[in-house]
Structure 1
């Protein structure tokens, strides 16, 4: 459901303006219900959970830097794999995320951060044709290709998914 630009919340409007400035050809979409979780967003969009590019934020312990992993909605992020790439990690609370990234949890966008963010992109996203990412608000998302996500963020692609063994 597309919402006229005048109704888009300020944080989502900021993302829409940034996307337009980048020449991105897709609009910000406002979901009728929350997209705070990958399952909620997928249900609202009629896509698979895997197609949701969820943003998970950590705090790097050595320097208090924000670390964002953009992962497939069907994957759990393996904190040990991420830490092996960027250094030891701690939890990022809602205040830390808002101050360092610039968005509230549930609407954390992979672009337009207020400060420097260390980023990684889940390699599993590259197997998909299109993904949906949060657009700065729990009800706002935008569509893009995984290649556009990599180009927009300049983030390295990495194996960050937690591998779970089937029950035997």
Structure 2
């Protein structure tokens, strides 16, 4: 550890830690010395590839103002048309919407322990890896898991919602 274990955890990280514990998850959140607001920052801090970061992206469903959480690999871009085909028309979510619906600030949105349950989709690209890391409710907080754990923790379907790489 790096000394951060001596400091009280931020509220969002405590909420994620409780949810992980309640669901019997093997890995508690850890606090990094540096910010992990972006997938690249998180990967650099953890010494892993950016693809192993499970990034949580929030969209705003236009029909009913519900949050839509898309969890995908840090090296992929979400195809909003694919998301819309699965959940209905969506738009960008601003920082206030994200904070109000999830209880987390952008850069620390966890895939679990949201204030209001979102519609959640897990992109299949995460399953390229045995071990991935996700945000734990704070820009410096992360937790380790396997892609299969995301299904168990969220109950969300695994789908294809990323843009196809140009060859």
TM-score range, shorter chain: over 0.9
CA shift at 1:6, angstroms? 4.5
* 1:5–1:158 Cα change, 3 Å: farther
**Residues 45-94 of structure 1 deviation map (CA, whole Å, 9 limit, x = unaligned):** 00110000000000011111100100000000000111111111111000
Alpha-carbon distance in structure 1 between the residues aligned to 2:161 and 2:129: 16
Question: What SS does the corresponding residue of 2:142 show, helix, strand or coil?
Answer: strand
Q: How does 1:47-86 map to 2 (within 5 A)?
A: 47-86=48-87
- Number of residue pairs matched by the alignment: 166
Deviation at 1:165, TM superposition (A): 1.4
Runs (5+) with no aligned partner, structure 1: none
Instruction: Give the structure-2-normalised TM-score.
Output: 0.95
Q: What's 1:102 paired with? A: 103
What's the C-alpha RMSD, in Å, of the aligned pairs?
Answer: 1.2
Which 4+ residue blocks in structure 1 deviate beyond 6 angstroms? none
> How is 1:7-156 mapped onto 2 (pairs within 5 angstroms)?
7-156=8-157
Q: Secondary structure at the match of 2:58?
A: strand
CA contact (8 A) 1:5 1:13 kept: no
CA separation in 2, counterparts of 1:5 and 1:92? 35
Is the contact made by 1:31 and 1:140 (CA closer than 8 Å) also made in structure 2? yes
Normalized against structure 1, the TM-score is what?
A: 0.95
Shift of 1:5: 6.5
Could you list the runs of 5+ residues in structure 2 that have no partner in the other structure?
A: none
The 3-state SS of whatever aligns with 2:20 is helix
